[in-house]
Amino acid sequence: MRNRKDLTTEQQNPNSHQIDKRSIPEILTIINGEDQSIAGAINKVIPEIARAVELAVKTIRNGHRIFYVGAGTSGRLGVLDATEMPPTYSAPRDWFQGIIAGGREALVRSIEGAEDKPEDAIRDLKAAGVEAGDLVFGIASSSATPYVVAALEYGRSVGTSTVYMICNPKPLVPVEVDVLIAVDVGPEIITGSTRMKSGTATKMVLNMISTTTMIRIGKVYGNLMVDLQVVNNKLVDRGTRIIEQLTGLDYDEAQEYLYRAEGSVKTAIVMARKNCGLNKAKSFLEKNDGLLRRVIGDVE
Protein backbone atom coordinates (compact mmCIF):
# COMPACT_ATOMS: atom_id res chain seq x y z
CA MET A 1 0.00 0.00 0.00
CA ARG A 2 1.31 3.44 -0.98
CA ASN A 3 1.23 6.35 1.45
CA ARG A 4 -0.90 9.07 -0.14
CA LYS A 5 -0.18 11.80 2.41
CA ASP A 6 1.77 13.92 -0.09
CA LEU A 7 -1.00 13.99 -2.71
CA THR A 8 -2.50 17.46 -3.09
CA THR A 9 -6.00 15.98 -3.01
CA GLU A 10 -5.23 14.44 0.40
CA GLN A 11 -4.08 17.71 1.97
CA GLN A 12 -6.26 19.80 4.29
CA ASN A 13 -7.62 22.92 2.65
CA PRO A 14 -6.96 26.02 4.79
CA ASN A 15 -9.91 27.80 3.18
CA SER A 16 -12.35 25.26 4.61
CA HIS A 17 -10.73 24.89 8.03
CA GLN A 18 -13.41 24.60 10.74
CA ILE A 19 -16.09 24.54 8.03
CA ASP A 20 -18.38 22.63 10.37
CA LYS A 21 -18.63 25.73 12.55
CA ARG A 22 -19.80 27.93 9.68
CA SER A 23 -23.34 28.95 8.81
CA ILE A 24 -25.03 27.39 5.78
CA PRO A 25 -24.50 30.46 3.55
CA GLU A 26 -20.83 30.59 4.64
CA ILE A 27 -20.34 26.90 3.80
CA LEU A 28 -21.90 27.40 0.38
CA THR A 29 -19.73 30.46 -0.26
CA ILE A 30 -16.58 28.51 0.59
CA ILE A 31 -17.56 25.66 -1.75
CA ASN A 32 -18.42 28.09 -4.54
CA GLY A 33 -15.16 29.96 -4.08
CA GLU A 34 -13.13 26.78 -4.36
CA ASP A 35 -15.07 25.67 -7.43
CA GLN A 36 -14.19 28.93 -9.18
CA SER A 37 -10.52 27.92 -9.15
CA ILE A 38 -11.13 24.81 -11.26
CA ALA A 39 -11.42 26.52 -14.64
CA GLY A 40 -8.08 28.23 -14.07
CA ALA A 41 -6.40 24.93 -13.21
CA ILE A 42 -7.78 23.39 -16.40
CA ASN A 43 -6.64 26.36 -18.47
CA LYS A 44 -3.04 25.54 -17.54
CA VAL A 45 -3.24 22.10 -19.17
CA ILE A 46 -5.05 23.00 -22.41
CA PRO A 47 -1.98 21.95 -24.49
CA GLU A 48 -2.22 18.44 -23.02
CA ILE A 49 -5.99 18.37 -23.49
CA ALA A 50 -5.47 19.39 -27.14
CA ARG A 51 -3.09 16.48 -27.65
CA ALA A 52 -5.71 14.14 -26.18
CA VAL A 53 -8.29 15.50 -28.64
CA GLU A 54 -5.90 14.92 -31.54
CA LEU A 55 -5.54 11.29 -30.47
CA ALA A 56 -9.31 10.93 -30.05
CA VAL A 57 -10.03 12.34 -33.52
CA LYS A 58 -7.40 10.08 -35.07
CA THR A 59 -8.85 7.09 -33.23
CA ILE A 60 -12.41 7.71 -34.47
CA ARG A 61 -11.37 8.53 -38.04
CA ASN A 62 -9.39 5.30 -38.23
CA GLY A 63 -12.43 3.26 -37.25
CA HIS A 64 -11.43 2.59 -33.65
CA ARG A 65 -12.91 3.35 -30.23
CA ILE A 66 -12.27 5.39 -27.10
CA PHE A 67 -12.51 3.71 -23.70
CA TYR A 68 -12.82 5.78 -20.54
CA VAL A 69 -11.60 3.73 -17.57
CA GLY A 70 -12.03 4.71 -13.94
CA ALA A 71 -13.23 3.75 -10.48
CA GLY A 72 -15.82 5.41 -8.26
CA THR A 73 -16.65 9.00 -9.23
CA SER A 74 -14.06 8.98 -12.03
CA GLY A 75 -15.56 5.85 -13.54
CA ARG A 76 -19.12 7.14 -13.29
CA LEU A 77 -18.18 10.38 -15.01
CA GLY A 78 -16.49 8.46 -17.82
CA VAL A 79 -19.59 6.33 -18.32
CA LEU A 80 -21.75 9.47 -18.25
CA ASP A 81 -19.73 11.25 -20.94
CA ALA A 82 -19.65 8.17 -23.17
CA THR A 83 -23.39 7.62 -22.74
CA GLU A 84 -24.22 11.17 -23.80
CA MET A 85 -22.45 10.99 -27.17
CA PRO A 86 -25.06 8.98 -29.14
CA PRO A 87 -28.12 11.10 -28.26
CA THR A 88 -26.24 14.39 -28.56
CA TYR A 89 -24.32 13.79 -31.78
CA SER A 90 -25.86 10.65 -33.31
CA ALA A 91 -22.49 9.02 -32.67
CA PRO A 92 -22.33 5.23 -32.92
CA ARG A 93 -22.60 3.71 -29.44
CA ASP A 94 -19.21 2.04 -29.69
CA TRP A 95 -17.21 5.22 -30.41
CA PHE A 96 -17.05 6.20 -26.73
CA GLN A 97 -17.35 3.53 -24.05
CA GLY A 98 -17.11 3.77 -20.28
CA ILE A 99 -15.59 1.03 -18.17
CA ILE A 100 -15.91 1.27 -14.38
CA ALA A 101 -14.29 -0.86 -11.71
CA GLY A 102 -16.96 -3.14 -10.27
CA GLY A 103 -19.08 -3.15 -13.43
CA ARG A 104 -22.55 -1.75 -14.01
CA GLU A 105 -23.60 -2.18 -10.38
CA ALA A 106 -20.86 0.29 -9.38
CA LEU A 107 -22.74 3.00 -11.26
CA VAL A 108 -25.45 3.13 -8.62
CA ARG A 109 -23.68 1.99 -5.47
CA SER A 110 -20.14 1.84 -4.19
CA ILE A 111 -18.34 -1.46 -4.79
CA GLU A 112 -15.73 -1.41 -2.06
CA GLY A 113 -12.28 -2.62 -3.09
CA ALA A 114 -13.04 -2.82 -6.83
CA GLU A 115 -10.44 -0.16 -7.60
CA ASP A 116 -7.71 -2.24 -5.94
CA LYS A 117 -8.00 -5.18 -8.36
CA PRO A 118 -5.72 -4.59 -11.36
CA GLU A 119 -6.50 -8.02 -12.75
CA ASP A 120 -10.14 -6.97 -13.14
CA ALA A 121 -9.11 -4.09 -15.40
CA ILE A 122 -7.35 -6.44 -17.78
CA ARG A 123 -10.35 -8.78 -17.75
CA ASP A 124 -12.76 -5.91 -18.42
CA LEU A 125 -10.73 -4.48 -21.29
CA LYS A 126 -10.39 -7.90 -22.89
CA ALA A 127 -14.14 -8.42 -22.56
CA ALA A 128 -14.72 -5.07 -24.29
CA GLY A 129 -12.47 -6.16 -27.16
CA VAL A 130 -9.87 -3.44 -26.71
CA GLU A 131 -7.33 -3.69 -29.53
CA ALA A 132 -4.48 -1.89 -31.26
CA GLY A 133 -5.63 1.45 -32.64
CA ASP A 134 -8.13 2.09 -29.83
CA LEU A 135 -7.61 4.77 -27.17
CA VAL A 136 -7.57 3.90 -23.47
CA PHE A 137 -8.31 7.00 -21.39
CA GLY A 138 -7.58 6.40 -17.72
CA ILE A 139 -9.17 8.67 -15.11
CA ALA A 140 -7.89 8.68 -11.52
CA SER A 141 -8.06 11.80 -9.35
CA SER A 142 -5.57 10.35 -6.89
CA SER A 143 -3.20 9.16 -9.63
CA ALA A 144 -2.77 5.90 -7.75
CA THR A 145 -5.77 3.70 -8.61
CA PRO A 146 -4.47 0.16 -9.38
CA TYR A 147 -7.44 -0.63 -11.65
CA VAL A 148 -6.75 2.41 -13.84
CA VAL A 149 -2.98 1.98 -13.90
CA ALA A 150 -3.39 -1.65 -14.98
CA ALA A 151 -5.82 -0.63 -17.73
CA LEU A 152 -3.33 1.88 -19.14
CA GLU A 153 -0.48 -0.61 -19.00
CA TYR A 154 -2.59 -3.28 -20.70
CA GLY A 155 -3.75 -0.85 -23.38
CA ARG A 156 -0.19 0.14 -24.15
CA SER A 157 0.86 -3.51 -24.31
CA VAL A 158 -1.69 -4.29 -27.03
CA GLY A 159 -0.98 -1.16 -29.08
CA THR A 160 -3.62 1.37 -28.01
CA SER A 161 -3.02 5.08 -27.54
CA THR A 162 -3.15 6.08 -23.88
CA VAL A 163 -4.27 9.22 -22.03
CA TYR A 164 -4.15 9.59 -18.26
CA MET A 165 -6.11 12.28 -16.43
CA ILE A 166 -5.29 12.98 -12.80
CA CYS A 167 -6.10 15.80 -10.37
CA ASN A 168 -2.68 16.12 -8.78
CA PRO A 169 0.50 17.79 -10.05
CA LYS A 170 2.11 14.45 -10.90
CA PRO A 171 1.25 10.74 -10.65
CA LEU A 172 1.94 8.95 -7.41
CA VAL A 173 2.34 5.76 -9.44
CA PRO A 174 4.36 6.43 -12.62
CA VAL A 175 2.87 4.97 -15.79
CA GLU A 176 4.01 5.45 -19.38
CA VAL A 177 1.30 7.11 -21.46
CA ASP A 178 1.05 9.18 -24.63
CA VAL A 179 -0.59 12.12 -22.86
CA LEU A 180 -0.71 13.01 -19.17
CA ILE A 181 -3.37 15.56 -18.18
CA ALA A 182 -2.51 16.65 -14.64
CA VAL A 183 -5.12 19.13 -13.40
CA ASP A 184 -3.89 20.45 -10.06
CA VAL A 185 -7.18 21.30 -8.36
CA GLY A 186 -5.55 21.79 -4.97
CA PRO A 187 -6.83 20.38 -1.67
CA GLU A 188 -10.45 19.33 -1.59
CA ILE A 189 -12.97 21.26 0.52
CA ILE A 190 -13.56 18.13 2.59
CA THR A 191 -10.16 16.47 2.88
CA GLY A 192 -9.80 13.64 0.37
CA SER A 193 -13.35 13.98 -1.02
CA THR A 194 -12.41 13.85 -4.69
CA ARG A 195 -16.03 13.67 -5.81
CA MET A 196 -16.01 17.45 -5.31
CA LYS A 197 -13.36 19.62 -7.03
CA SER A 198 -11.69 16.67 -8.73
CA GLY A 199 -15.04 15.37 -9.95
CA THR A 200 -15.98 18.78 -11.31
CA ALA A 201 -12.63 19.09 -13.10
CA THR A 202 -13.03 15.63 -14.57
CA LYS A 203 -16.50 16.42 -15.90
CA MET A 204 -15.25 19.65 -17.45
CA VAL A 205 -12.24 18.05 -19.15
CA LEU A 206 -14.22 15.11 -20.52
CA ASN A 207 -16.81 17.56 -21.88
CA MET A 208 -14.03 19.51 -23.57
CA ILE A 209 -12.45 16.45 -25.12
CA SER A 210 -15.57 14.71 -26.39
CA THR A 211 -17.20 17.93 -27.62
CA THR A 212 -14.09 19.12 -29.47
CA THR A 213 -13.67 15.66 -30.99
CA MET A 214 -17.24 15.75 -32.30
CA ILE A 215 -16.69 19.25 -33.71
CA ARG A 216 -13.53 18.17 -35.54
CA ILE A 217 -15.19 15.18 -37.20
CA GLY A 218 -18.09 17.24 -38.51
CA LYS A 219 -20.87 16.80 -36.00
CA VAL A 220 -21.23 20.58 -35.57
CA TYR A 221 -21.75 23.47 -38.00
CA GLY A 222 -21.08 26.84 -36.40
CA ASN A 223 -22.29 26.01 -32.92
CA LEU A 224 -25.29 23.98 -34.09
CA MET A 225 -25.71 20.23 -33.53
CA VAL A 226 -26.36 19.49 -37.19
CA ASP A 227 -25.65 15.77 -36.96
CA LEU A 228 -28.80 15.30 -34.93
CA GLN A 229 -31.02 12.28 -35.39
CA VAL A 230 -34.46 13.21 -34.08
CA VAL A 231 -35.96 10.64 -31.72
CA ASN A 232 -38.48 12.69 -29.72
CA ASN A 233 -40.64 15.81 -30.03
CA LYS A 234 -38.04 18.08 -28.44
CA LEU A 235 -35.44 17.04 -30.99
CA VAL A 236 -37.91 17.32 -33.88
CA ASP A 237 -38.46 20.93 -32.87
CA ARG A 238 -34.75 21.65 -32.41
CA GLY A 239 -33.83 19.96 -35.67
CA THR A 240 -36.53 21.84 -37.54
CA ARG A 241 -35.30 25.17 -36.23
CA ILE A 242 -31.71 24.34 -37.23
CA ILE A 243 -32.82 23.49 -40.76
CA GLU A 244 -34.90 26.66 -40.84
CA GLN A 245 -31.89 28.76 -39.82
CA LEU A 246 -29.45 27.28 -42.35
CA THR A 247 -31.77 27.06 -45.35
CA GLY A 248 -34.11 30.04 -45.15
CA LEU A 249 -37.17 27.77 -45.20
CA ASP A 250 -40.10 28.47 -42.94
CA TYR A 251 -40.77 26.18 -39.97
CA ASP A 252 -43.28 23.87 -41.70
CA GLU A 253 -41.15 23.52 -44.83
CA ALA A 254 -38.07 22.76 -42.73
CA GLN A 255 -39.94 20.09 -40.81
CA GLU A 256 -41.10 18.48 -44.07
CA TYR A 257 -37.48 18.25 -45.22
CA LEU A 258 -36.58 16.69 -41.87
CA TYR A 259 -39.16 13.94 -42.36
CA ARG A 260 -38.05 13.39 -45.96
CA ALA A 261 -34.48 13.03 -44.67
CA GLU A 262 -35.59 10.23 -42.33
CA GLY A 263 -34.97 12.38 -39.28
CA SER A 264 -31.38 13.38 -40.15
CA VAL A 265 -30.90 17.13 -39.73
CA LYS A 266 -27.61 17.26 -41.63
CA THR A 267 -29.04 15.35 -44.58
CA ALA A 268 -32.14 17.54 -44.65
CA ILE A 269 -29.98 20.66 -44.83
CA VAL A 270 -28.06 19.31 -47.81
CA MET A 271 -31.29 18.29 -49.55
CA ALA A 272 -32.66 21.80 -49.14
CA ARG A 273 -29.47 23.71 -49.98
CA LYS A 274 -28.55 21.51 -52.94
CA ASN A 275 -32.14 20.93 -54.10
CA CYS A 276 -31.53 17.20 -54.28
CA GLY A 277 -33.00 13.95 -53.05
CA LEU A 278 -32.08 11.83 -50.05
CA ASN A 279 -29.54 9.55 -51.72
CA LYS A 280 -27.76 12.40 -53.48
CA ALA A 281 -27.53 14.33 -50.21
CA LYS A 282 -26.03 11.31 -48.47
CA SER A 283 -23.53 10.98 -51.31
CA PHE A 284 -22.48 14.62 -50.95
CA LEU A 285 -21.81 14.07 -47.25
CA GLU A 286 -19.94 10.78 -47.74
CA LYS A 287 -17.62 12.36 -50.31
CA ASN A 288 -16.83 15.19 -47.88
CA ASP A 289 -16.18 13.08 -44.77
CA GLY A 290 -19.49 14.17 -43.26
CA LEU A 291 -18.35 17.80 -43.01
CA LEU A 292 -21.38 19.94 -43.78
CA ARG A 293 -19.36 23.12 -44.34
CA ARG A 294 -17.53 21.44 -47.23
CA VAL A 295 -20.87 20.70 -48.86
CA ILE A 296 -22.81 23.94 -48.38
CA GLY A 297 -20.04 26.46 -47.63
CA ASP A 298 -20.54 29.34 -45.23
CA VAL A 299 -24.08 30.34 -44.32
CA GLU A 300 -24.55 33.69 -42.61
- Catalytic residue positions? 84, 115
Q: Which residues, other chains included, contact 72 with Cβ-Cβ below 8 Å and sequence gap of 6+?
A: 101, 106, 110, 115, 195
Q: Which residues, other chains included, contact 209 with Cβ-Cβ below 8 Å and sequence gap of 6+?
A: 49, 52, 53, 56
3-state secondary structure 91-132: CCCCCEEEEECCCHHHHCCCCCCHHHCHHHHHHHHHHCCCCC
Residue 162 φ/ψ, nearest 5 degrees: -140, 135
Task: Read off the amino acid at residue 134.
Answer: D
Query: Quick check: 65 and 95 in contact, CB under 8 A?
Result: yes
Nearest alpha carbon to residue 4 among 212, 111, 144? 144
Nearest alpha carbon to residue 275 among 294, 260, 290, 291? 260
Query: Quick check: 141 and 184 in contact, CB under 8 A?
Result: no
Q: Rounded to whole angstroms, how far apart are CA atoms 89 and 74?
A: 23
What 3-state DSSP class applies to 256? helix
Query: Quick check: 272 and 281 in contact, CB under 8 A?
Result: no
Q: Which strand (E) or helix (H) includes residue 294? A: helix 292-296
